[in-house]
Amino acid sequence: MKIASARQMAELDRVSTEQYGIPSLLLMENAGRSCAERILRYLEDKVGAPEEASVAIVCGRGNNGGDGMVIARNLHNRGVYVEVFLLAEEEDLSRDARVQNGILKKMDVEVRVIRDQDGVEDLRSFLEEVHLCVDAILGTGLSSPLAGIIREVVEVVNLSLAPVYAVDIPSGIDATTGRILGEAIRADFTGTFGLLKLGHVLLPGSIHCGETEIYDIGIPSKAVFDAQIKIEALDERIVKSMLSIRPPDFHKGDAGRVFIVGGSPGMTGAPCLAGYAALRMGAGLITVVVPSSLHAIVESKLMEVMSIGIGEGGGYFTKEMVPELLEKISKADVVVIGPGLGSYPGAGEFIRELIPRIKVPFIVDADGLNALDGQVEVLRTAGAPCTLTPHPGEMSRLTRESIEAIEASRIGSAQHLAEEQNVTVILKGARTIITTPKGDVFINTTGNPYMASGGMGDALTGMVAALASQGLSPTDAACAGVFLHGMSADLLVRRYPMSAVSATDVIENIREGLQNTMGEEPKGEDAPK
């Protein structure tokens, strides 16, 4: 599912009109009618007959306001009592909005212009009686914080008890970043046009959108293709296309060999969790490699996952162990470096010595990322595809950007690191971002705040490694792993609302997450209780 920035969507509108000859008024008609049909379904469900419903439609001076006027006309024609509250004088309306306003006048639809505090109070009073409020104030073109009477109106709508339907995007959301610009409408439903916008998917904007639907308003598919939009939202359809059914003669050697290099005193659980996750995600043979002094501890934790101890580094990996390690992982399809590795003086030297000599796809996670602090350029010496899995703190150490700057531009930060170091980046957090060396971006749509617990990153890394070992490209493995990781947790939270989810919970629910994504009902012990 492609996702557009505000600028890209404005360009698609322009191309549709100027190059394809589709009148802007026709696009507006299609947009307003699609929204009106959704609103009518809502009213019929909640109120009954349209004639018994009343709706307030708050319109701005631009084309978003014009969309709202088309909605008003369509609802009025179906018997709904509609009042339009206009935040502009007629002469200040956009060309198309002015046309729509003229039609409403001829139809005797009530249009009130909000010029001052009295107009705001009129809206407040009417909102006490209506079944729905439609937000058609600003749309996707907003770039500066709300102020003045518009902000007051947004606050009044938010304080009312009326359900809210937002046209295109809730007013006050930056359509490109998802940021709240001063104040923003909190919508129960949003109807958007052509493509999702980044503000519908990124936080905190996505929280304000409620249930979001996309309407086809006639933008040519070729125009979308030619726009070469590189950002996509991950959904079941995309992830399902990345996965394949195993043939009858499949065996454990075909399912991939994953070697997980990590562990240090007090941190043996991390590589074991990653190994367990890789097992549940379908890898055929998984081996956890730890310093020899920790081997007995790891051996006691694992059953179906194998383990190896190497070297005599006092519980830590050292650069002197690299030749022996390379021998042990020589049969790997994928190598993971970092879970539980620990932060110690020799970690940087170990990583710098190891990375250029790995010959298969590898993933650097957790303390492996911390060991790259100050020497991230070593990634350019890698002879095989590399995937990094930083959270914002680790990303800050890798890029020397502040956490605040990274959070303000998650996509840009991840894109820059991926392209500069020729790696795949999984920037974890709410709405995890996956970026590729070619500049492609994927935004995850699964996951929830009840996943905030230790070991969750280890589980994700194991899942991604397992998928990569089974032949998925680094991009597909990252996307499918991240999506299924979040889906497995989401299904648990649906079953047990407001309950914290541990990494082990997620790992043990991978099977249900996979079945849900593939469109199959869980059976037996995995069926919801």
pLDDT (tens digit per residue) in 299-331: 999 999 999 999 976 899 999 999 999 999 999
- Cα separation, 438 vs 194, in Å, equals 25
Which ranges constitute the DSSP H helices of 227-379? 236-242, 269-280, 295-301, 322-328, 347-354, 367-370
* Amino acid 314: pLDDT: 87
Domain boundaries, the chain: 3-228, 236-521
If you average pLDDT over residues 151-169, what whole number do you get?
A: 98
Which residue pairs from 101-107 have beta carbons closer than 8 angstroms and sit at least 24 positions apart in sequence?
A: 101/69, 103/69, 103/73, 104/69, 104/72, 104/73, 107/73, 107/76
E strands of 114-247, at which residues? 132-136, 164-167, 189-193, 196-197, 211-215, 231-233
Residue with tokens 């006490």: 128
Question: For 249-279, what is each residue's pLDDT tens digit?
Answer: 888 888 899 999 999 999 999 999 999 999 9
| Residue written as token pair 């047990």 | 496
Residue 525 predicted with pLDDT over 60: no
514 CB-near residues (< 8 Å, 6+ apart): 243, 484
Alpha helix (H) ranges present in 371-473? 392-399, 403-408, 410-421, 456-469
Residue 11 token pair: 């360009």
Tokens of 434: 């996956």
CA distances, 460 to each of 123, 172, 447, 482, 487 (Å): 49, 34, 12, 7, 12
Q: Which CATH class is domain 236-521?
A: alpha beta
Phi, psi of 480 (to 5 degrees): -65, -40
Query: Residue 469 corresponds to which tokens in the numbers above?
Result: 């070992």
H/E run at residue 55:
strand 54-59
Whole-prediction pTM: 0.91
Would you call the peptide bond into 204 cis, given omega within 30 degrees of 0 as the criterion? yes
| Domains 3-228 and 236-521 alike in fold | no
> What pLDDT does residue 313 have?
66
Residue 227: both structure tokens together: 């726009």
Is residue 36 within 8 Å of 70, Cβ to Cβ?
yes
Query: What does the block give as tokens for 53?
Result: 């419903």
Query: Is the C-alpha dihedral spanning 428, 431, 434, 440 positive or negative?
Result: negative
Residue bearing the bigger pLDDT, 84 or 430 = 84
Average pLDDT over residues 211-222: 97
3-state SS, 14-39, equals HHHHHCCCCCHHHHHHHHHHHHHHHH
Tokens of residue 303, six digits = 């059953």
Query: What is the predicted pLDDT for the residue at 246?
Result: 85
Q: What is the pLDDT of residues 37-74, one digit of tens each?
A: 999 999 999 999 999 999 999 999 999 999 999 999 99
Q: Residue 517 phi/psi, 5° resolution?
A: -70, -35
Length in residues, the chain: 529
Neighbouring residues of 93: CB distance < 8 A, sequence distance ≥ 6: 61, 62, 65, 66, 101
Provide the CATH number for the domain formed by 3-228 in this structure: 3.40.50.10260
Q: How confident is the model at residue 143 (pLDDT cuts 50, 70, 90)?
A: confident
